[in-house]
Amino acid sequence: MLKIGEFSKIGQVSIKTLRYYDQVGLLKPAQIDRFNGYRYYTLSQLVRLNHIMALKDLDFTLDQICELLKLGLSGESLEKMLHSKASELRLQLNEKLARLLRVENRIKAIQVSCVVNQSPIVLKSSPNQLVATVREVLSGVEALPEWQEAQCERVARVLDRLGEKPNGPRLLVYHQDEYRETDLDVEVGTIIREARNNTGLRRMIGEVHIHTLFAVNQLATTIHSRGGGRLSDTYANLAHWTQVNGFRPIGPWRELYYRSQPGGSQVIEIQRPVMNTIEFYHHLEANIMEPKIITKPSLIIVGLRYFGRNEHQEISELWGKFNQRVRESGPIENETGEAAIGLCTTPEDAAEDGTFEYVAGFPVSEVGDVPEGFVVRHIPEYTYAVFAHQGDLPSLAITYEYIYATWLPQSGYQLAAKIDFEYYNEDFKDFSPESIFYIYVPIEKA
């Protein structure tokens, strides 16, 4: 038996640490003298101590170490926790490298006096926000101010009739990749309030669309104020910053308009959803580079139908309506409970304008009593390439672009049918950073 001082010297940990391990139940002494309270350890306990130190070196917390030791340090549980820790450390490393790059670029900009009159650029996040907007394609930028003011007044009148009060700034969204001065696809309106999820109030009232502006994990943002130079220069500065600091744009430009008081001076916050380039390619490698190839039996889907091009987030609106109907009327008859399915079909005779059918629904074992307004769709058995999309909604376009523009042409497969479907099971957590859902693409050998 070894006294605590002797054990601490051999194990090269402090007496204070050993006492704390005893306190939290991580490493209890083999014996405690009931008269003087001295702690005694055995040499065999060095193995457990070394396990603790090795896991600490891997950056596990004491709670995690305690759980691992209970599991016996072997098998799938250990491997799963190690994979999770590797992902966590990789993310931390990427964040540190990205921050280092921003520091170095800031130094370069100061050295060439490029930041004297420029507003700093910062990274922010944005929650789901309920907005009321109007969207239109304008011939030129000169028409934007008058049109924007008229549409914001229209939005204000609609919200007043609904008894809704805006609780956020005016909003402008450019639905194009670059700043340009002709053929502007723009959406303007106001933020009503933060939305708890993406299934809140959605409706069209005339030209005004009330819907959710989806959460974004990272936004590159800067402030443009009167007297701060041309707006196009601020856009160019933000675009340059995004590129040189290792980010990729993953969504449309946004402008938020703030006033300190009615009639007071106005500032514009320019925002762009972005993703760290390293994280972007890791996303591709980890989540969609290696799809699973499976054969899935035929499915019967019962749900609500939309047909169009999803120009105004109608699919999200469809899910909102579907979830509300299910809450009000209860489960669909013969529902399997397997998952929620978003079935996308391009009809053979569809016009070449990007229109498609989307059905938001649940799989059923057989067709029973179909709720009013619902449709039934049968999916035959196919071999599928199954891709996982992890993270927020704006980055979903990256996943689909990779599937159809990169993976499929290089895979040796071709589409077996003009369909695909989204599979939402318990892994889906409303597009949070850890949220995952699956995209099933039917394939056959080319």
| Contact residues for 262 (Cβ-Cβ < 8 A; gap 6+) | none
Domain assignment of residue 87, given as a range: 74-116
What are the Cα distances from residue 262, in Å, to 67, 163, 228? 57, 21, 21
**Do residues 332 and 350 share a domain?**
yes
| Segment holding 134, helix H or strand E | strand 129-140
Same domain, residue pair 107 and 203? no
Q: For residues 443 and 420, what is the distance between their CA atoms, to the nearest angstrom?
A: 10
Give residue 110's pLDDT band: very low, low, confident or very high (50, 70, 90). low
So what's the pLDDT on residue 426?
87
Q: What is the pLDDT of residue 333?
A: 93
The pLDDT of residue 69 is 80
Residue position matching structure tokens 């944005």: 126
Q: Which residue has the tokens 């009330």?
A: 210
The confidence band for 199, taking pLDDT boundaries of 50, 70 and 90, is very low
What does the alpha-carbon distance between residue 237 and residue 220 come to, in Å, rounded to a whole number?
A: 11
Do residues 105 and 250 share a domain?
A: no
- The helix, strand and coil proportions of the chain, stated in percent and rounded to the nearest 5, come to 35, 35, 30
- 421 pLDDT higher than 90: yes
Rounded CA-CA distance 299/439 in Å is 15
Do 111 and 169 lie in a common domain?
Answer: no
| 358 close to 444: Cβ distance less than 8 angstroms | no
33: CATH: 1.10.1660.10
> Rounded to whole angstroms, how far apart are CA atoms 3 and 54?
23
Split into its structural domains, the chain has a count of: 4
CATH of residue 182's domain is 3.20.80.10
Write down the mean pLDDT value for the chain. 84
Contact criterion met (CB below 8 Å) for 31 and 40: yes
Q: Are 170 and 189 in contact (CB under 8 A)?
A: yes
In this structure, the answer to whether residues 350 and 233 fall within a common structural domain is no
